[in-house]
A and B are shown apart, each in its own frame.
Chain A
């Protein structure tokens, strides 16, 4: 018993002190039945029924619950897995990498069909994109000075290692085609060392263009594997749809950029490419959402920052796609549609990365689906592959 003078202000105690039976601890440490009993007694149930936080759970003498009742067991609501420590640079990398890959394909097609302006612009876009993506990748590392450690090894089980080599291969071919393009732009002497180099570039131009086209699809698609090969629930579960979303997004974004940069007379193929990309993106995204809904993982895709970005991305994709249909006649419409498509692609990447981060930080997205698939296996009579055993 304390004897502080402030004790005189204390209200009289009503009966013995009891341990709180329904509360934050019980709820999040898995005492679901505790919480249920609390509701049944009218404690928290009544509180939820409209009274304010002051009256919750014991009229203000006990602490109000800080978190809502959890429907699953977890360790104080802490995340089970850790989110990947990536910031905005990785979705930005995905975006410019996609533009680089799509621009490479457009450049090769333009070179093969003799569209000079489209070829020049898309080649320069491809080089800019690949340089930017490399810069983003290096900047995102915790220790950028160690980037070369990536080049120590080739590791097929690591999508990042595979991707680094894809990016390097693509950059090598893009470097040659870009050099060839720059040599055409500059007033270079036709004799001497420079002249020899220019003629050599003319010779290797076509093979490098083919090489660039060969490395572009893996560059656009591997980033989906990069995300899927983690335990982040949204990314891992979307492993069958994500590559199609990403290649579609790469196609519409790169074509959109060319619709902005190049006159409409030469961007016919780019517009068709954009339309194919729009269709692929919308269909794949729809299937992705359906699949995640079945897995009970659609919430991060529909709510919060990620959800808002993905909704805006879908609207821009549709708007850009419709604009592309009409963009053959008007440069203004083409520029507007192109910008919409590029923005849609960026928002898709950022939205999906956001949704993945959200799904990693909340244990319900980890524990819930895992428990469900475990129960399904057990219901089917499969018990040999569980991490929990008895005896």
Chain B
């Protein structure tokens, strides 16, 4: 694929396309919402490090424990609180199972059969492809698994995937899945994994700029204030931005925003910086340049926000979703880890426990610039038509 063809859609290395020579590995986040506790440390750390002013006055949204609402000019990390009933949990699990049944792609190699490709830790599962699709098909006709009390923690914080695989094998060989110890693993406090669905749950998810491979905001910026950093991220230069607000309408995720002057300063002198300028997460460009971790990832107490090379983040996300599926949490799914999606894959990868729109994320975002050649072509025909109409009007007789 040629250089020009890669610029508007498809898989590509954005830093190379932007002209960086020998750029460092592309950086990104993996936000694992299954272990987010909604402490908002990331929101606070982001505000502190980047000296972001308060968002508006002290208006509370009244939506659950979310007093921030959404991402914006002065909120670069936002923790969503979604309250869900038992029915909704069931629906989420079913929709996740449906995605598996549809044969949604493994990340990285969509051409290969699902389950064959993927990461190293997924390989033990794939020796029996059917097991991967529904690990509980042999254990008593689809016994609902999961929801003892908590989703099991990641590998370094709880029972290892290997142990659970051993246990699962025991179940496959005839052991009773409901008997304690012989079941499908235990949660962090030793409760057997198999249990009834809870009446209620909170989904907490820390949202952030996606740092898309094909970033709509970056494409439409008329001044060059938005640029692609050597880390493959998208950064705004406040001193170049002329405040046209075009990037705001071009972001399919509703992330970037123009800072308005009704923001209240957290500073004593009443000065609000960069009013009238588009602002968003820079993935802590200033920290990255000094081999530091972004403030939100560094402060996250549960490792819900992980930071690193994007490849590693995608691999970690794949491992984690495989682990959750293995434990029966079929509602787990990845968001943004697919390089073939409408924005060419996002730098920030998320593990979600329900449909994206439940978290306020678009279910099928497309970078509008993807259709730009078509738009210019149609506009060209329209302009030609206008010229022809004018010519016809003047050539059509003397009167």
Contact = CB atoms under 8 A, between A and B. Distances in A.
Interface in A96-126: 101-102, 105-106, 108-110, 112-113
Nearest to A74: B357
Contacts of A224: 375, 378-379, 382
A81 B357 CA distance: 11
A240 B69 CA distance: 34
Contacts of B379: 218, 221-222, 224-225, 243
Contact of A142 (B85, B219, B243): B243
A221 B365 contact: no
B224 to A, nearest CB: 5
Contacts of A164: 222
A262 interface: no
Contacts of B257: 82, 85
B82 A29 contact: yes
Interface residues of A, number: 100
A174 B115 CA distance: 64
B385 A244 contact: yes
Contacts of A328: 399
B1 interface: no
Given A83-B249, A142-B243, A231-B216, A388 B277 contact: no
A386 B249 contact: no
Nearest to B223: A149
Interface stretch (B50-58, B158-166, B178-186, B336-344): B336-344
B107 A280 contact: no
Given A79-B254, A82-B251, A390-B333, A33 B88 contact: yes
A206 interface: no
B243 A146 contact: yes
Interface in B354-399: 354-366, 368-369, 371-372, 374-376, 378-387, 389-394, 396-399
B63 interface: yes
A276 B363 contact: no
Instruction: From A159, A218, A236, A373, name the one whose CB has the most chain B CB atoms within 10 angstroms.
Output: A159
Contacts of A310: none
Interface in A223-277: 224-225, 228-232, 236, 239-240, 243-244, 246-247, 250-251, 268-270, 272-273, 276-277
Contacts of B391: 109
B8 interface: yes
Interface in B199-246: 199-200, 216, 219-225, 240-246
Dominant secondary structure of chain A at its interface with chain B:
helix
A81 B251 contact: yes
Given A31-B87, A72-B357, A85-B258, A389 B399 contact: no
Interface in B61-117: 61, 63-64, 66, 69-70, 72, 80, 82-85, 87-88, 91, 96, 99-100, 102-107, 110, 114-115
Contacts of B252: 81, 231
Contacts of B168: none
Given A74-B360, A250-B386, A389 B105 contact: yes
B334 interface: yes
B368 A230 contact: yes
B117 to A, nearest CB: 9
Interface string A40-79: 0000000000000000000000000000000011111011
Contacts of B356: 387-388
B118 interface: yes
B305 interface: no
Nearest to B8: A157
A387 B220 contact: no
Contacts of A250: 386
Contacts of A371: 357, 363-364
A140 interface: yes
B222 A161 contact: yes
Interface stretch (B37-45, B263-271, B284-292, B317-325): B317-325
A165 to B, nearest CB: 10
A158 B384 contact: no
B88 A155 contact: no
B317 to A, nearest CB: 9
A369 B334 CA distance: 21
Given A218-B383, A243-B381, A272-B396, A78 B360 contact: yes
Given A109-B394, A367-B362, A229 B220 contact: yes
B7 interface: yes
A358 interface: no
Nearest to A264: B399
Contacts of B7: 157
A386 B322 CA distance: 18
User: Could you say which of B249, B365, B372 has the most chain A C-beta atoms within 10 Å of its C-beta?
Assistant: B249
A153 interface: yes
A164 B221 CA distance: 12
A209 interface: no
Contact of A150 (B103, B223, B354, B365): B223
A34 B87 contact: yes
Interface string A295-336: 000000000000000000000000000000000100000000
Contact of B365 (A37, A110, A387): A387
A391 B321 CA distance: 5
A178 B325 CA distance: 71
Contact of B386 (A74, A105, A147, A225): A105
A240 B377 CA distance: 9
B382 A84 contact: no
A366 interface: yes
A10 interface: no
Interface stretch (A128-136, A193-201, A339-347, A377-385): A377-385
Contact of B371 (A239, A383, A386): A239
B184 to A, nearest CB: 18
Nearest to A385: B340
Contact of B338 (A21, A82, A240, A386): A386
A211 interface: no
Given A157-B369, A231-B365, A146 B241 contact: yes
Residue of A105, A140, A157, A251 with most chain B CB atoms under a 10 A cut-off:
A157
Given A75-B357, A105-B387, A366-B362, A387 B254 contact: no
Contact of B368 (A228, A366, A367, A374): A228
Contacts of A31: 84-85, 87-88
24 contacts: A19-B199, A34-B87, A75-B357, A76-B66, A84-B249, A85-B258, A105-B390, A140-B244, A146-B223, A157-B7, A158-B222, A159-B375, A218-B379, A231-B365, A243-B381, A247-B386, A251-B386, A268-B398, A276-B389, A371-B357, A383-B103, A384-B105, A388-B334, A391-B107
Given A101-B386, A152-B224, 4 more contacts: A73-B355, A141-B243, A149-B241, A273-B393
**6 closest pairs, A vs B, by CB?**
A142-B243, A142-B276, A75-B360, A217-B383, A84-B249, A243-B382
